[in-house]
Amino acid sequence: MASDLILLIPEIILLLSIVAALVAEMLHLPRTALVVMLAGLLVATVLTLPLLGQDTGIFSGTYRIDTLSVWAKLILLPATALALILARAELADSDREGTVYVLLSLVTLGSLVLAGAGDTMLLVLGVLMSGLGSFALVAYPRNNIATEASMKFFVFASVTGSVMIFGLSYWFGGTGSTLLSDLTRLEGKPLIAAVGLIAVIIGLGYKASLVPFHFWAPDAYEGAPVSVAAYLSVVPKVGAIFALAQVVRHLPVTMDWPLIIAVVSVLSMAYGYLAALVQDNIVRLLAYSSIAQAGYFLLAMVAVGVSSLAFESMVVFAAAYVAMNLGAFAVVMRVGRTLDAFSGIGRTNPVLGVAMVVFLLSLAGIPPLAGFVGKFLLFAASIDAGFTWLVVVAILNSVLSLAVYLRIVVPMYRQSDTVGATGLTPMPLVTLVGAIAFAFTLGIGLAAQVLLNQLN
């Protein structure tokens, strides 16, 4: 038990920090809550570093300390810290400010549980923990748009979560165990295996906003504060994707589950970008972009158990995606939610314009940025698994993504006299987050080999 708890120290530190921050909020000390959470996230991240290279299970195999769970901490803990800073910049001195910091961190804890899940019960626990806080965060503005979005989110999550639990009961009946490592016992039971897999894809697919379980995402992102939308677009998504990878690694090899994953990938990429093409609201555009990006993650999923690049590519793309997406949302916080607000911003504020161009080109997968490196590795993993046709579809969607992101870039460099292009209010905290995201977007692209060496 003691050795298991030692391997769980980062999660324990995060949990204790959440409790301390909650106490600070109860005492009406939101700034103290923020400082406590930032310190806790930093300490938890540092204490995760010694776990690199570990590959074991704790508490009888119900929780895993492996490549996915360790890198989930190293990616999602700093991402949460950046999201907290964005939230401070946007919601400072508002009602229940400290509650936002606590809820964001609780959702992160749930996402980490998902990423390290070695048991179906932890899948359910992770979905619940990361979901309950998300509903409240979306409803934070307490207006009609936010309330409606939160209710849609809640109803959708309730249905998909129930379907997942129902499907998991089939797996328990077929294996006599809740451990994911025992899913190999489903060999020769294709119907039971298929029912459970479809249910899990539904339950985790909603968390990752995969098509056709994405309907909540655009409304939730639009209704929520921008900082919350930025957070929801990265942390719960990565946790759910890593959880799905933990599941499929133990499915019977005779079951053609990669084809199901590939179909969901194609639908997510194509629909996400096609829907984004007609959006005038930047937050909704980025919401549909995040749906498409979730489809790219699945290129690595089809290679799990076949290619050594599967987990490596997933981790690198996750790190790249978190950096470039948080950076794009940071710029949106500075400029505004509409395309009109971006008109001429590249001329009046060249630094902000260049930063947004870099984030968007990275999302499109243009070299030598982080997004290109991540997608290149995803393509390599998918080809290793024999899914060359899926890579071709992904490349075609990358071309389509240029049309999507140029819808933002082109107006940025038009001559404009609109108020939205000038007179931006200084936001030092948002600038800090944008600068950090910019550095990682460039750094991961230019020094990807360093990251890959840590993964091997």
For 375-389, the pLDDT digits (tens) are 999 999 999 988 999
User: Does 376 reside within a domain?
Assistant: yes
Angle (CA) 7-244-434 rounded to 5° is 75
Q: What pLDDT was estimated at residue 456?
A: 63
- Kindly give, in sequence order, each residue whose CB lies less than 8 Å from that of residue 67, ignoring residues fewer than 6 positions away: 55, 311, 312, 315, 455
Q: What pLDDT was estimated at residue 61?
A: 85
Give one DSSP letter per residue of 197-265, joined into a string: HHHHHHHHHHHTT-TTS-THHHHHHHHS-HHHHHHHTTHHHHHHHHHHHHHHTTS-TTS-HHHHHHHHH
Give one DSSP letter per residue of 30-59, joined into a string: HHHHHHHHHHHHHHHHHHHGGGTT--EEET
Pair of tokens at residue 70:
């360790």
Contact 33, 102 (CB under 8 A): yes
User: Which amino acid belongs to residue 105?
Assistant: S
pTM above 0.75, yes or no: yes
User: Does 403 reside within a domain?
Assistant: yes
User: Which amino acid belongs to residue 29?
Assistant: L
User: Does 181 reside within a domain?
Assistant: no
Q: What pLDDT was estimated at residue 419?
A: 47
DSSP state of 118: -
User: Does 321 reside within a domain?
Assistant: yes
Contact 291, 207 (CB under 8 A): no
Q: What are the residue ranges in the chain where pLDDT is below 70?
A: 1, 253-254, 416-423, 449-456
User: Does 113 reside within a domain?
Assistant: no
User: Does 440 reside within a domain?
Assistant: yes
Q: What pLDDT was estimated at residue 455?
A: 65
Rg (CA), the chain: 21
Handedness of CA 419, 422, 423, 428 (dihedral sign): positive
Contact 365, 371 (CB under 8 A): yes
User: Does 187 reside within a domain?
Assistant: no
| Tokens 């979905």 found at | 127
Residue 117: helix, strand or coil by DSSP?
strand
| Tokens 């029912």 found at | 195
User: Does 295 reside within a domain?
Assistant: yes
Q: What pLDDT was estimated at residue 452?
A: 67
Q: Tell me which residue range forms the domain holding 261.
A: 256-456
| Tokens 């938890």 found at | 44
Contact 52, 225 (CB under 8 A): no
State how many domains the chain has. Answer: 1
